[in-house]
Structure 1
Amino acid sequence: MNKSFNSHLLIYLSLLTFASLQSCMFGGSRGDQGELVGVPDRESFEQTIPYGMTFVPSGTFHMGQADEDITSSKINLNKQITIGGFFMDDTEITNNEYRQFINNLLDASDTSSDWTEADIMATLYPDTTVWEKDFTYHMGDPMVRYYYMHPAFDDYPVVGVNWLAAKEFCEWRTSYLNAYRESEGQFPMPNFRLPSEAEWEYASRGGLDMAKYPWGGPYVRNGKGCSLANFKPGRGNYYDDGFQYTAPTASYFANGYGLYDMSGNVSEWCEDAFHPASYPVVWDLNPTYFDEMEERKVTRGGSWKDISFYIETGTRSYEYRDTARSYIGFRCAMTHLGRSSGFEF
């Protein structure tokens, strides 16, 4: 075999190798015929409704007061904004649901958990003493003893949980769900989180723009004289709505989005820091007011101890993030991924 033949063979093999590499580089061997078709074999994702949640569709509404500003606070003037679709717990987190969180952390505290038993009991366990500390000269001892631990209160909203603990609950719930999904070879779901103040107000109105209450309004009783929420109907009168303290979740009718107790029962933590002038500052698309230096966090919805003004959809309030109360609880939200116009059930 002469040198000329070897030289030509080497050139031929080089060209063949280059053509093969070129084919791989430009996708010819993958059947895309050189066209831009995206990365093949991507796993599909279908977002399902998490257990205990309901879907709140995208929309535009007027955030702010829906009636007279009787306190002349001028901290919730109307502003038209747009909200993306999301999921929200249809009730407040209950004692028994929160107990699952605590028990799971306690079970893991001796092994892989970052939380020790002492940490859990000091920072995450509901502060049952709030039933005595929140009110002067009040016989709160029975509630201190039984409200969180006794099965009679399993379906009542958890209280005595501060904003920081509510955030930890959301993180745990995310990890708990996605650990299972990973074990099943599924894509993770978006994080559970506290709803923004704007999301909360939008959801509370149930699709009724400028609604004073989740059921529309303007009254807090129906035609038969029955209260439509758990609140304080009058001075010294806590029982006309059927419950002297909190009520079991979903004891009253749901709003148009299938959400219960958006007015009354317990106030609810939101993600936002509280500032009287935050409305003009935040954007008009999915607004959220973040300020890590601000220890006041927004609460919404009013509670069993509040008069009707505080259970209006547009009324703002706050509490310090490290403070637990007998009248503040929370519920979780989750961002919906995909089409913004609606959700395919």
Structure 2
Amino acid sequence: MKKLLLYSLTCLFLAGLLSSCSSKGGNSSSKTGIPYADRRSKKNQSGAFSVATQYKRAPGPGLIQIEGGVLIVGGSAIEVPGVEPSIYNYKRQVTVPSFYMDETEVSNTDWLEYLHWIRYNYPEDREFYYNELPDTLVWRRALSYNEPYVDNYLRHPAYRDYPVVGVSWEQASRYCEWRTSQANEFILREKGILTDYRTLAGGNTRRGNNTTAAAATTRPDKPFNTDAYLNGQYDDKGRNAPIDYNVKSGAATTTAGGATGAAAGRNNAQPRRTATLEDGVIMQPYRLPTEAEWEYAALGLIGNTEYENISQNKIYPWNGLGVSSASKKTRGMIQANFKRASGDYMGVGGSLNDKGDLTVPVISYKANDFGLYNMAGNVNEWVNDVYRTGTFTDADAFNPYRGNYFENKQLSDAQNGKIALDKYGKPIKENAYSGKKLTWAEKQSLSKRADSISKSTDPKAAVTSYQADERGYRDRQNKLLNDEGVTLVNDKSRVYKGGSWNDMAYWLNPATRRFLQQDESSSEIGFRCAMTMLGAPEISTQGKRQFKNPPPKAFNSKRTR
């Protein structure tokens, strides 16, 4: 009887949905005929499947769209007498998918914003703040008077737009994680999906000795983290607004928590839920670019390409065989910040050619054909890859990359899908334990085992980690480490590229590569971030031939009766 009743209710529910079916084919399922939920409608049936039919991708703050394509890694290399050929990539044809990349290097101001956030959110945690401080001692030289840069380069406003240096690969990676959460939180609060910033600011003020009522209901218990939010583990004190991006601001009303204005009106409009990845409002993570992405973006051959024909190759991010400009207005000017000769960092007084003694502002010279500044010179830049001399002899031809072991977010409660968070609200990572999806029983068993190991005092206790072949026995460099003795190359050696203010011109070639330990830093190394682009690789279809496909046919339930 109960089954029959449930079946009848389900039929009534589906019938109600079908009766309100839109005539637009894109707003209903092409396989079941059931209309998708329309966030702008107040007539949606409870439980209807929601689809982001209006999604339009766009680059995140600071990013430039890079349309991918074929790249001959190492193809721009030039032979220089006395220079070891190992500084270049092994020449091989690969394909780089479309992606986003920072227009400029990360500046001192950008990094000081990060430090300010740490100090504001964790005023008592001096260790956290100290660990993220750049090593300004990278400027110190035994036989050079660089002490003013030790004290001033990071913080003085004279250098606010200069690239941050003294940052390790590990620090740069953590900055990318922080930037991801900051940018996503801004989007969610501006859209009213989370408590808006104005309400938050009001909630954190005090009247006399009493905290306002809004503070008790709107102040988050920890800083926002994208992964925790998507997993339902970010507490915004029940202030999550409906996913309704097109609704106009509601009338000024007062909520139980004391919030007033348009935000309160929106919060009372519909049942509340958090945004999900399917909604398309959460950006992909900022990260360091792969070596192949960086070389592809730096070379910028798109400006010399038409109908898949490359009219002119490059050895630098600009056209020509030299380092000086051939344009009429800038003829003879150096196009990057580097050391022209031993002891010549900026030219002759009264005619400073590259306009820089050490580094220069992140927007300097002319952008390359992708619109990226300083892809040669100024500072070298960290990329994501682990260094191996033969990376591109082994890596895949599509989206090549060499990393370390795969990692997963550690589970704290497998039954409920909760992930373990550290004291800063960030997911705790662990080596991946399987190369495929586990069964439910295996997942529960592994979770219990991991929990018992974490409480164990036995130092030998460990969860077996999964290691892909490409990061195991197929790694030729690891064999060399065993067979030929001592080497500086190891699994913590990271690639950096691009040349710096203290490098000669041949390091400006995008094919050149060097390495440094991921926990070390230099006055000659900075970084910029990248982001994965999802969906079709073609950025602009304007003026390009396209196949024309008809839209899906709308389902009309009346025709089936």
Q: TM-score range with shorter-chain normalisation?
A: 0.7 to 0.9
Size of the aligned set, in residue pairs, is 325
Q: What secondary structure, in the 3-state scheme, does the structure 1 residue paired with 2:178 have? A: helix
Distance 1:264 1:96 in 2: 20
Output the amino acid matched with 2:139. W
SS at match of 2:170: helix
Letter in 2 for 1:266: V
Deviation at 1:15, TM superposition (A): 7.0
Q: In the alignment, is the contact (CA less than 8 A) between 1:267 and 1:330 conserved in 2? A: yes
Find the partner of 2:334 among 223, 227, 232. 227
2:170 pairs with 140, 149, 164, which one? Answer: 164
Could you tell me how far 1:172 is from its partner in structure 2?
A: 0.3
Instruction: Report deviation, 1:73.
Output: 2.6
Q: 85-94 vs 215-224, which deviates more? A: 215-224
Deviation at 1:66, TM superposition (A): 1.3
Distance 1:226 1:142 in 2: 29
Contact 1:53 1:90 in 2 (8 A): yes
Q: Is 2:381–2:527's contact at 8 Å kept on the other side of the alignment?
A: yes
**What SS does the corresponding residue of 2:370 show, helix, strand or coil?**
coil
Distance 1:85 1:236, change over 3 A: same
Indicate which of 343, 346, 350 corresponds to 1:236: 343
Q: Please, what is the CA RMSD of the aligned residues?
A: 2.5
Residue aligned with 1:318, SS? strand
Q: 1:274 aligns with which of 387, 405, 420?
A: 387
Match of 1:333 among 517, 524, 530: 530
Which structure 1 segments of 5+ residues have no match? 1-9
- Post-superposition shift, 1:34? 9.2
- Distance, in Å, in 1 between the alignment partners of 2:345 and 2:105 is 20
Cα distance in 1 for partners of 2:505, 2:343 equals 14
1:250 is aligned, of 354, 358, 363, to 363
Question: Are residues 233 and 23 of structure 1, via their aligned partners in 2, closer, same or farther at CA, if it must alter by over 3 Å?
Answer: same
Give matches, 1:70-219, under 5 Å: 70=80, 71-74=83-86, 75-110=88-123, 116-121=125-130, 123-132=131-140, 135-183=141-189, 184=191, 185=193, 187-206=281-300, 207=302, 208=304, 210-219=313-322
Question: What displacement does 1:20 show?
Answer: 5.0
Deviation string, structure 1 residues 252-274 (Cα, Å, up to 9, x no partner): 10000000000000000001000
Q: In 2, distance between residues paired with 1:245 and 1:152?
A: 13
Name the CA distance, whole Å, in 1 between partners of 2:401 and 2:148: 39
Deviations 1:304-326 (A, max 9, x none): 00001111111111111111110
Separation in structure 1 between the aligned mates of residue 388 and residue 515 of structure 2, nearest angstrom:
9
Shift of 1:226: 1.1
Given that 2:29 and 2:36 are in contact with CA atoms closer than 8 Å, whether structure 1 keeps it comes out as no
Identity of aligned residues (%): 32
Which stretch of the first structure deviates more once superposed, 191-200 or 27-36?
27-36
- Over residues 242-288 of structure 1, what are the superposed CA-to-partner deviations in whole Å (9 max), with x where a residue is unaligned? 21100111211000000000000000000100010111111111111
Cα distance in structure 2, aligned partners of 1:273 and 1:54:
25
Residue in structure 1 matched with residue 72 of structure 2 by the alignment: 62
Q: For 1:129, what is the secondary structure of its paired residue?
A: helix
How big is the shift at 1:213?
0.5
**Contact 1:28-1:34 at 8 Å conserved across structures:** no
Q: In structure 2, how many angstroms separate the alpha carbons of the residues matched to 1:201 and 1:154?
A: 27
CA contact (8 A) 2:107 2:160 kept: yes
Distance across 2 between alignment mates of 1:139 and 1:33: 70
Supply the distance in 1 between the matched residues of 2:283 and 2:29 (Cα, whole angstroms): 35
Q: 1:128 to 1:72 in 2, by over 3 A?
A: closer
Q: Which residue pairs with 1:308 in the alignment? A: 505
Q: Which residue of structure 1 aligns with residue 375 of structure 2?
A: 262
Q: Which moved more, 1:201-210 or 1:167-176?
A: 201-210
Structure 2 residue matching 1:212: 3-state secondary structure: coil
Aligned pair in 2 of structure 1 residues 18, 315: CA closer, same or farther (>3 Å)? closer
Give the residue type in structure 1 aligned to 2:71: F
Partner AA of 1:324 in structure 2: S
Aligned to 1:5: none
Indicate if the aligned counterparts of 2:345 and 2:358 stay in contact, CA closer than 8 A. yes
The 8 Å contact of residues 90 and 390 in structure 2, kept in 1 or not, is answered as no
Which stretch of structure 1 is more off in the superposition, 201-210 or 138-147? 201-210
Q: Which runs of 5+ in 2 are unaligned?
A: 19-27, 38-50, 194-274, 276-280, 305-309, 348-353, 406-489, 543-561
Q: Which has the higher mean CA deviation after the structures are superposed, 91-100 or 58-67?
A: 58-67
Give the aligned partner of residue 6 of structure 1. none
What is the Cα deviation at residue 52 of structure 1?
Answer: 1.9
Partner deviation per Cα, 1:182-219 (whole Å, 9 max, x = no partner): 23236211000000000000000112575210012311
In 2 relative to 1, CA 33–189 (structure 1 residues): closer, same or farther, beyond 3 Å? closer
Report the Cα offset of residue 21 of structure 1.
3.6
Deviation at 1:237, TM superposition (A): 0.4
Q: Which string of whole-angstrom CA distances, capped at 9 and with x for unpartnered residues, describes residues 141-191 of structure 1?
A: 011111111000000000010000000100000011111222323621100
DSSP 3-state at the match of 1:291: coil
TM-aligned CA distance change 1:38 to 1:266, over 3 Å: farther
User: Which residue identity lines up with residue 492 of structure 2 in the other structure?
Assistant: E
Contact 1:47/1:189 (<8 A) preserved: no
- 1:87 CA displacement: 1.2
**1:175 is aligned with what amino acid?**
S
The letter for the 2-side match of 1:73 is P
SS of 2:175 mapped into structure 1:
helix
> What are the Cα deviations for residues 295-342 of structure 1, in whole angstroms up to 9, with x where unaligned?
110101010000011111111111111111101000011111222111
Greater displacement, 87-96 / 55-64: 55-64
1:20–1:38: structure 2 CA closer, same or farther, 3 Å change rule?
closer
Of 22, 27, 30, the residue aligned with 2:17 is 30
Give TM-score scaled by structure 2 length: 0.54
Give yes or no for contact 2:379–2:526 (8 Å, CA) kept in 1.
yes
The one-letter amino acid of 2:324's match is R
Whether the 8 Å contact between 1:55 and 1:343 is mirrored in structure 2 is no
Query: Do the aligned residues in 2 keep the contact of 1:84 with 1:286 (CA within 8 Å)?
Result: yes
Contact 1:58/1:342 (<8 A) preserved: no
